[in-house]
Structure 1
Amino acid sequence: METNIFQMTTGERDEKEFLLREADAIRRSPSIYWLPLGLKYLKECRGSFFLSCITLMWAYNSYFVPALVLIPMHREQQIGAWVIWVFMSLSLATIVCLLRSCLSNPGYIPFHNRPTTLDQMNWSHCKKCLIQRPLKSHHCSRCQRCVRRMDHHCPWINNCVGEDNQWTFVLLLLYGFLLSSTALLINVLHFYYFNPCSTCDTALFRFRYERSLMYGCFVTGCMLEFFCFTQLFTQIYNISRDKTTVESLIYAGKPPYERPPNTKRPMDSFRDVFGRGHILLWFNPFRSRLGRNIIVYSEVA
């Protein structure tokens, strides 16, 4: 039963009024810009900067590696066309996963709805939003929203990683790692294996400064490969243990007996993230997430 505000002490009334004002400010926060088709963009300077950096690195490698190496080497019959198709397919899959991870709803919990009786068992209460939320949900201070199964807020995609977009984030790391590894391999072959291009017009900017541009591809490729590999390893490890990054940080300093037990098999945890479809469908960045858990809400009376 809700406590009558006139029965509270002055300190309790002030605290409750402060929480109500804070929750109202959060609900009116203009930080999220909603786009058509259910997409959204977080208006945050730091995240927008990091997202721009990662997008520029992708664009740099996706343009200069084919323009300086793959297409000239194919024209001189040093490589097959399938190499170009593989590289461009990885590039396309990477940018699709990046856009879907950045613009999709990670699993925001509605403000003005409440769960049905069957869904609210063992739910927690957010002291920021003043709403009920499922287990593993957390409040993101940058999005100013509670997110279902929140893993972490990633500035590189300018979005939270939650229940509805974690699978695209993992695919982004996977395809980003494969793309950067392929770019690094092509760099090595370009400098130490392929014959110099005899038909390239050195009057063009990209061929005049070819070595410097390829060094740039090597540096950005190393950065992307390191970031994607470390994050991908962390994601796979946490998912296999049915843990989120937030939970891993919370329980990192606690003894084992104070940590929640892991009752799921690793494959079941992966199916919770990627969906219930065939495992080969998990690698398709164009699909919809299949068989996700549905939470039923009802209007607040």
Structure 2
Amino acid sequence: MTKFFRTNDDSPDDEELEEEIKTMYPGFVYRVSDSPALPQVPMHIVVPFLGRLRFVRDWNGVLLLAFVVLCFMYSIFTTTFIIILPQYQDGNLSGPFALFYGFLNVMCLLTLLNVSTMNPGEVTSQDTDDYKDPAVSSYCKTCHLNRPPRGYHCVKCGHCVRRMDYHYTWLNNCVGADNHHLLLLFLVYTFLLCLTTLTLVMFHLYKFPKCISCDREAFYIKHSIWLVYIQNILCVIIGFQTFVSIVVQHLNIIMNRTILENIFLSPVYETKKRTKFQAYAELFKTKSVWLWFFPCRRKAMAVPQRGFFHP
């Protein structure tokens, strides 16, 4: 399982709390003294038109990420060739609705690509000058670098991450200060896609007539009922999980918390009161709400180093 090292010298050394956490999450939380050898650092791949992509060399993460992509491909193929195209050709489905479905698929794949390949906020030697003040920083005994107080060390990635939320194995990447907004976008677009797909499946099973223009001898048409049932099960499971994740992320964002801080029972980090809009504006680094939904936008660099998401 993913192991994290909390190497904050200022953190309380409570043995009972450590044992309680290890009991709740067996094989999960370790201190530096228990840490095994670090893996290789993430590699970077240069892809034409996509640029320099981050890639964590973890086979479990690669397989889970491949499974996520496979589920998307299955959903796109089944819904497009069994429901959308035949019903659109027969005049039972409008063009704008089909375009909306395609838009959701594109946004899901774009956010998945970005959140799984973007640097989550790695703490490097160039950042040490910004975190020399012991009152607002901590020292990582594994990286031998100063880091923000809310930074954690991830053994999968081999470095510390600023305001680390969690290492999501199914994304094969950490989520931190620089790509947290992409995780939220991916969850929102995936949930909308699941709702749209479930709506199409229900109409296909109970409302739409049998297709006239489709090739009834095609394999996916002859066995469409089973393919659609599998699609329905996937949408229910993934939709429920993404809905729960959205609720958890929303609560953490407005309360200024992360998944790891909840696991480690860290004290509440507060600097000032803020509204829900301010919380999301700081997460997306812009007050223009319409820009929040664009996954390819680079977050503004002219942001104060100390704040809710960049302490």
TM range (shorter): 0.7 to 0.9
Specify the alignment match of 1:222 in structure 2.
Answer: 236
Query: C-alpha displacement at 1:278, in angstroms?
Result: 0.4
Query: Which secondary structure state, in structure 2, belongs to the residue aligned with residue 115 of structure 1?
Result: helix
Specify the alignment match of 2:245 in structure 1.
Answer: 231
2:152 to 138, 146, 149: 138
Question: For the structure 1 residues 113 and 260, does the alpha-carbon distance in structure 2 shift closer, same or farther, using more than 3 Å as the test?
Answer: closer
Amino acid aligned to 1:192: Y
Q: Max radius of gyration: which structure?
A: 1
Query: Which secondary structure state, in structure 1, belongs to the residue aligned with residue 80 of structure 2?
Result: helix
The two structures have a TM-score, normalised by structure 2, of 0.80
Query: C-alpha displacement at 1:295, in angstroms?
Result: 4.9
Specify the alignment match of 2:273 in structure 1.
Answer: 264
Q: When the two structures are aligned, how many residues end up with a matched partner?
A: 269
Query: Which secondary structure state, in structure 2, belongs to the residue aligned with residue 39 of structure 1?
Result: strand
Instruction: Report the Cα distance in structure 2 between the residues aligned to 1:292 and 1:184, rounded to whole angstroms.
Output: 42
Which deviations, in whole Å up to 9, do the C-alpha atoms of 1:170-202 show, x marking residues without a partner?
A: 000000000011111111110001111122211
Query: C-alpha displacement at 1:64, in angstroms?
Result: 1.2
Query: Which secondary structure state, in structure 2, belongs to the residue aligned with residue 200 of structure 1?
Result: coil
Query: C-alpha displacement at 1:30, in angstroms?
Result: 2.3
Report which stretch shifted further, 217-226 or 284-293: 284-293
Query: C-alpha displacement at 1:263, in angstroms?
Result: 3.0
Instruction: Report the Cα distance in structure 1 between the residues aligned to 2:91 and 2:59, rounded to whole angstroms.
Output: 46
Specify the alignment match of 2:85 in structure 1.
Answer: 71
Specify the alignment match of 2:122 in structure 1.
Answer: 108
1:42–1:143: 8 Å Cα contact kept in structure 2? yes
Amino acid aligned to 1:57: C
Question: For the structure 1 residues 139 and 118, does the alpha-carbon distance in structure 2 shift closer, same or farther, using more than 3 Å as the test?
Answer: closer
Instruction: Report the Cα distance in structure 2 between the residues aligned to 1:137 and 1:117, rounded to whole angstroms.
Output: 11
Which deviations, in whole Å up to 9, do the C-alpha atoms of 1:4-44 show, x marking residues without a partner?
A: xxxxxxxxxxxxxxx8xx89x64xx4241112334210110
**TM-align CA RMSD:** 2.4
The two structures have a TM-score, normalised by structure 1, of 0.83
Specify the alignment match of 2:102 in structure 1.
Answer: 88
- List alignment gaps of at least 5 residues for structure 1: 1-18, 253-257, 297-301
1:100–1:168: 8 Å Cα contact kept in structure 2? yes
Instruction: Report the Cα distance in structure 1 between the residues aligned to 2:90 and 2:131, rounded to whole angstroms.
Output: 69
2:40 to 30, 44, 64: 30
Question: For the structure 1 residues 48 and 198, does the alpha-carbon distance in structure 2 shift closer, same or farther, using more than 3 Å as the test?
Answer: same
Amino acid aligned to 2:282: D
- List alignment gaps of at least 5 residues for structure 2: 1-31, 307-311
Q: Is residue 195 from structure 1 mapped to residue 209 from structure 2 by the alignment?
A: yes
Specify the alignment match of 1:290 in structure 2.
Answer: 300
Report which stretch shifted further, 167-176 or 222-231: 222-231
* Identical-pair percentage: 26
Specify the alignment match of 2:256 in structure 1.
Answer: 242
